[in-house]
């Protein structure tokens, strides 16, 4: 399974690089496709992320959600050596560089002193997805562990955000993998049947 996922990751990284270079308005497309999600957001806490390398940029969608009354937070990754820990989420303005810092992984994240919250909605970056709500991430398991923990505490909506080119027929899954509830691309939104 590890070899299969590793080969898939290589192919999907190439697809994402190509899509990111060609789809310069992809973030605006996410907003257009997320109309159903936008309607139910007032007062909810939404976790987004700052794009890393060629990840699709969710910040236009995050701004649209905030304009509808959502409270925004961003994830902090566990430090190196903290494998097995999930992400923590902190209220912050993703547009304010004074509230962000670079993690040991090289990802921009909120500073640790910002208030920690439990999100109602998590925008999840990914390398690949299928129509059953399965995703392939970077391989660290941060989002799988985090979604598992959040779901043990109550309802959370996991929304994968990606370029359409990141879709494949079937993502191989393992018992620890957490399914998404929605997938939003710049050209279509997919609610996942339960």
Tens digits of residue pLDDT in 145-166: 999 999 999 999 999 999 999 9
| pLDDT mean over 48-70 | 94
Q: Is 61 helix (H, G, I), strand (E, B) or coil?
A: helix
- To which residue do tokens 């509830």 refer? 181
Look at residue 82 in the predicted model and tell me its pLDDT. 58
Look at residue 33 in the predicted model and tell me its pLDDT. 92
Which pLDDT tens digit goes with each residue over 2-52? 566 778 888 888 889 899 888 888 988 999 998 877 777 778 999 999 999
Q: Which residues contact 163 (CB under 8 A, 6 or more apart)?
A: 15, 16, 19, 20, 23, 26, 56, 185, 186
Look at residue 95 in the predicted model and tell me its pLDDT. 93
Look at residue 106 in the predicted model and tell me its pLDDT. 87
Q: Which residues contact 57 (CB under 8 A, 6 or more apart)?
A: 26, 27, 51
Here the tokens at position 61 are 């969608």
Look at residue 145 in the predicted model and tell me its pLDDT. 93
Look at residue 2 in the predicted model and tell me its pLDDT. 56
CB atoms within 10 A of CB 154: 8
Higher pLDDT residue, 82 or 68? 68
Percent of the chain with pLDDT over 90: 64
Higher pLDDT residue, 38 or 103? 103
Q: What is the pTM of this model?
A: 0.92
């Amino acid at each position: 399974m590890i070899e299969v996922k590793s080969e898939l990751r290589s192919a999907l990284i190439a697809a994402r690089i190509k899509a990111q270079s060609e789809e310069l308005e992809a973030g605006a497309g996410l907003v257009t496709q997320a109309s159903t999600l936008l309607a139910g957001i007032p007062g909810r806490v939404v976790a987004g992320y700052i794009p890393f390398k060629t990840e699709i940029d969710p910040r236009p969608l995050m701004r649209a959600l905030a304009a509808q009354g959502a409270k925004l937070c961003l994830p902090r990754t566990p430090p190196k050596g903290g494998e097995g820990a999930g992400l923590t989420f902190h209220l912050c303005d993703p547009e304010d560089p004074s509230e962000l810092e670079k993690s040991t992984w090289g990802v921009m994240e909120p500073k640790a002193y910002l208030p920690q919250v439990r999100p109602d909605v998590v925008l999840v970056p990914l390398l690949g997805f299928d129509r059953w709500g399965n995703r392939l991430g970077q391989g660290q398991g941060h989002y799988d562990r985090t979604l598992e923990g959040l779901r043990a505490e109550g309802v959370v909506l996991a929304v994968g955000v990606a370029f359409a080119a990141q879709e494949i027929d079937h993502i191989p899954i393992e018992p620890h993998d957490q399914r998404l509830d929605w997938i939003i691309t710049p050209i279509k939104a997919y609610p996942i049947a339960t």
